[in-house]
Amino acid sequence: MTRAYNFCAGPAALPTDVLQQAQQEMADWHDKGLSIMEMSHRSKEFVAVAEQAEQDLRELMQVPDNYKVLFMQGGASSQFSMVPMNLLRGQAKADYILTGQWSKKAIAEAKRYCDVHLAASTDFASAPTQAELELSADAAYVHYCPNETIGGVRFDYIPETGAVPLVADYSSAILSEPLDVSRFGMIYAGAQKNIGPAGLCVVIVRDDLLGQALPGTPAMFDYQTAANNGSMYNTPPTYSWYLAGLVFQWLKAQGGVEAIGEVNRRKAAKLYAFIDGNDFYANPVALANRSIMNVPFTLADDSLDAAFLQQSEQAGLLNLAGHRSVGGMRASIYNAVPEAAVDALIDFMGDFARRHG
Ligand code: PMP
């Protein structure tokens, strides 16, 4: 088996150990004579798998007891609507911070439900400081994206929002380093980066925010429905849930978020140091706000982009093209991308620059 180094922004690299375990268990899960995806989601076997996954995630993130962990569907994009539907709680206004393409999409969707007040907006290459936030006292919540996947922009602090619940789209940075969940009213994250395959979206929401959905909210979009039914009001994507559970176990075996956070910071630091030290490459993001998960970069001559992508692929370095909306390159270096992948990328980039610079 040869596994290339995969820098895809999502669906992203999964740990090889996890894939091998899933392969081994594929046709006959734990001597039951069937695969996990052929089992009833209500069977005691699957319910145990699902509950273990939740337990492991709670442990990894040290989720306080007064938060529900929900395994939802519809991707992070559905949360752009479910957040206002569930969290406006009779109020008319919400604060949003605009730092990139994903917070922009969240804002566009929220405008269908409430007055959106922009607490801050940037050029998509930096995050506002706490002092720059213009928060409304009468906002139902404050929404932001702590790690903008496309721009590679990361908040280097958790906004202080007083009594107003803070809501974070953590899709591309969840589980990448330790996080104080108690600072948030709600966290959500599409699975296909640091959690598992696409199909799941994890929602972590404080109990007191539940049960006040907008009239007319579909049962499937009401967090209370999911909370009351162990996230199994309907048939959940069982295989994705099972695989997410394997990823959580893998992460625990790596030493949890603290240990992986150290590796992640080291991976990012060496890649940025290389980019900054080489005139052929550039990253436009403010130093304090550089993502440790998504590293966009440009070549000094963009007519070489196609050659860079072709040669990197030949070298076993996959999916380095930037998002279609911005072009350039992007290396997503999530938890399952080993440090050796970053080392190989840096070697390739140095070699490419020497040959073409
Ligand atoms: N938010 C962020 C920060 C993302 O990176 C993405 C996907 N790349 C989304 C939302 C949308 O996620 P999905 O495709 O699961 O709806």
Q: Is 81 annotated as a binding residue?
A: no
What is the predicted pLDDT for the residue at 83? 98
Of the residues 95, 193, 222, 267, only one is catalytic, namely 193
Question: What is the distance in A from the centroid of ligand 1 to the CA of 209?
Answer: 23
Task: Give the CA distances from residue 287 to residues 156, 181, 274, 276, 313, in Å, rounded to whole numbers and listed in that order.
Answer: 10, 25, 14, 11, 29
Q: Same CATH fold, 256-356 and 16-253?
A: no
Who's near 100: CB < 8 A, 6+ residues apart?
124, 145, 148, 149, 150, 151, 153
Could you give the CA distance from residue 261 to residue 240 in angstroms, rounded to a whole number? 24
Task: Give the CA distances from residue 262 to residues 7, 256, 269, 335, in Å, rounded to whole numbers and listed in that order.
Answer: 19, 10, 11, 11
- The DSSP element (H or E) to which 244 belongs, if any, is helix 238-253
- Report the pocket of ligand 1 as residue ranges, CB < 6 Å: 10, 75-77, 102, 145, 149, 169, 171-172, 190
Residue with CA closest to ligand 1 atom 5: 149
Joined together, the tokens standing for residue 230 give 């162990």
Could you give the CA distance from residue 195 to residue 245 in angstroms, rounded to a whole number? 8
Evaluate whether the domain defined by 256-356 bears CATH number 3.40.50.300. Answer: no
Nearest atom in ligand 1 to 79's CA: 16
The number of beta carbons lying within 10 Å of the beta carbon of residue 54 is: 21
Each domain of the chain, given as residue ranges in start order, spans 16-253, 256-356
Q: Give, as one character, the DSSP assignment of residue 27.
A: S
Q: Is 16 annotated as a binding residue?
A: no
Q: Exposed, middle or buried by CB within 10 Å (0-12, 13-18, 19+), for 31?
A: exposed
Question: What is the distance in A from the centroid of ligand 1 to the CA of 149?
Answer: 8
Nearest atom in ligand 1 to 145's CA: 3
pLDDT for 31-59, tens place per residue? Answer: 999 999 999 999 999 999 999 999 999 99
- The DSSP element (H or E) to which 79 belongs, if any, is helix 75-87
What is the predicted pLDDT for the residue at 37? 95
Closest alpha carbon to 174 in 187, 156, 160: 187
Packing angle, helices 339-356 and 305-314, rounded to 10 = 130
Of the residues 56, 95, 169, 222, only one is catalytic, namely 169
Nearest atom in ligand 1 to 75's CA: 15
Q: Is 176 annotated as a binding residue?
A: no
Could you give the CA distance from residue 293 to residue 334 in angstroms, rounded to a whole number? 5
| Residue 156 annotated as catalytic | no
Fold of 16-253: Aspartate Aminotransferase; domain 2 (3.40.640)
Question: What is the distance in A from the centroid of ligand 1 to the CA of 154?
Answer: 15
What is the predicted pLDDT for the residue at 2? 86
What is the predicted pLDDT for the residue at 1? 76
The number of beta carbons lying within 10 Å of the beta carbon of residue 33 is: 9
Q: What is the pLDDT along the chain (357 residues), one digit of tens a residue?
A: 789 999 999 999 999 999 999 999 999 999 999 999 999 999 999 999 999 999 999 999 999 999 999 999 999 999 999 999 999 999 999 999 999 999 999 999 999 999 999 999 999 999 999 999 999 999 999 999 999 999 999 999 999 999 999 999 999 999 999 999 999 999 999 999 999 999 999 999 999 999 999 999 999 999 999 999 999 999 999 999 999 999 999 999 999 999 999 999 999 999 999 999 999 999 999 999 999 999 999 999 999 999 999 999 999 999 999 998 888 999 999 999 999 999 999 999 999 999 997
The dihedral formed by the CA atoms of 181, 182, 186 and 188, expressed in degrees to the nearest 10? 0
Count of H-run helices and E-run strands, the chain: 9, 14
Task: Tell me phi and psi for residue 263, to 5 degrees.
Answer: -65, -45
Joined together, the tokens standing for residue 114 give 């409430």
ipTM: 0.99
What is the predicted pLDDT for the residue at 156? 98
Could you give the CA distance from residue 165 to residue 218 in angstroms, rounded to a whole number? 23
| Residue 32 annotated as catalytic | no
Closest alpha carbon to 293 in 156, 157, 193, 186: 193
Task: Give the CA distances from residue 253 to residues 51, 118, 144, 184, 230, in Å, rounded to whole numbers and listed in that order.
Answer: 19, 41, 31, 27, 26
